[in-house]
Chains A and B, each alone.
Chain A
């Protein structure tokens, strides 16, 4: 028997192909290879944020989730692992990238293992992943692997990048194989904050035994 992992690659690269996507793909491929060595099959799905740009902008200003965006959200909802990759602009992750993750329900990605990756024209942006992007993914209650990926122009010819990709990929496989997300969600889901209809429309449990529910039914707060 082989367990199958769903890996979702999110790329905010703008050209086709882009180095941002390339970095994400290399990480995803290594994840698949290392997982296969451990008898796991990996199904990779790619979300190109470039194609969702107008729907992301609409969602930010109108709460209206377009069909392509909804498809991406559903993919993430079912992901066992995520590789999220963005170019660095003006010393920060692309606004397209942060906007996309800001639209998601707060509880959509709880406990999901994530590899973070960024590309830039200069090594001076190297700490963007660890200093900026980790905060966003901590807010989303994901578990980001210890090794961040960053590639500026010179890194593409440096074997050290491959080693870091190997490290990050194995860390992701280890977290997926450990069943961390499943355990957290099955045993501790109720301890996180949820809204009715959150988690991509799946969070529908209602606690009838709360102070507010008692107040709603004519009781006292």
Chain B
């Protein structure tokens, strides 16, 4: 089981101090948060993608490459990469490049994005969001698996003899999670390709996510990738931790009350009861998180949202200490002892290389000499014809 933190990249006024961090401060902070995640023993750091204020993360691979260079073991990922407004060719190129630089310590999560005005900025139409996402991923999937792609679809210029470079590290495509909270077609696509499925699990009651995860598991088995229990599931979660339960509640309440999306709405206690939010002592967060596998089945990755709603950097780093030192080690032990032995291992590059090659060496594509074009047939690589 992998544990990590994911950030929306919101730059939100701290409701307690009244300060809004500058973009520079927040970008600096997120790098420290990622480094801290590794330091306290977490496995994954993931960042969102947004193209409008008050968010900073418009260029996730740049940030993640930087973080990968400053860490040793941490897997860098996204939450999510927009599979609609991004050209799938650019996703293929940028994330393959990230994969090389991170030496395989990366994966990505795809999502559609639900901010209508963003779509036309990139020449897209939100009404076509779902078919666009599905078609774009069909193309992305091929770009990472076929050296030369001929392709024609509805949403981008056709490709003739196109090679996405660099080829994935060891010729093993980055692992992909498909994030969705309500769309069976996305779950179907994740299942069809044998990819992971991620439910953000933040805003809505668990029943909502249970339905879609169940469907994904059934379809994963239907397409022959393994049993329902072997499907690869990731979950989000949200926690605020303090040694004493009441301190956690008092400290987090002002941030909850003014948080983007659910602030100025339900009472924190009601929200905790009906959603996966835990605010309390390490033991309370452990107990609540342990219920997730009972509802959703054994899963591979648990992500926590820890840095949103204007929480200052110092608090976030302290939260990560508590998460990494007092919560996650217990969760690892408890889940390991309860987990069904059939459960799939969490995806890593090393595991995927082994699955593909066994003990044989991995393919290392070497290009042929430049012929001045890329469309006159034949393979661009020396080891294939």
Contact = CB atoms under 8 A, between A and B. Distances in A.
Interface in B173-215: 182-186, 188-189, 192-193, 203-205, 207-208, 211-212, 215
B264 interface: yes
Interface string B47-59: 0000000000000
Contacts of B275: 64
A196 to B, nearest CB: 5
Interface string B110-152: 0000000000000000000011001100100100000000000
Chain A contact residues, majority secondary structure: loop
Contacts of A188: none
A204 interface: yes
B265 interface: yes
A58 interface: yes
A178 interface: no
Given A215-B138, A216-B188, A216-B189, A64 B182 contact: no
A64 B131 contact: no
A58 B193 CA distance: 39
Contacts of A211: 131
Interface in B49-86: none
Nearest to A57: B265
A220 B183 CA distance: 18
B182 A196 contact: yes
Contact of B270 (A66, A215, A218): A66
Contacts of A213: 184-185, 188
B162 interface: no
A215 B215 CA distance: 17
B266 A64 contact: yes
Contacts of B192: 216-218
Given A61-B264, A63-B203, A197-B182, A217 B208 contact: no
A217 B189 contact: yes
A221 B192 CA distance: 16
A64 B277 CA distance: 13
A122 B134 CA distance: 56
B266 A66 contact: yes
Interface residues of A, number: 25
Nearest to B207: A201
Contacts of B138: 215, 218
Interface in A191-221: 195-197, 201, 204, 206, 208, 211-213, 215-218, 220-221
Given A61-B265, A63-B203, A197-B211, A216 B134 contact: yes
Contacts of A206: 184, 215
A62 interface: yes
A56 to B, nearest CB: 11
A212 B182 contact: no
B135 A221 contact: yes
B274 interface: yes
B208 A216 contact: no
12 contacts: A63-B204, A66-B274, A67-B270, A201-B207, A206-B215, A212-B130, A215-B134, A216-B134, A216-B185, A217-B192, A218-B192, A221-B153
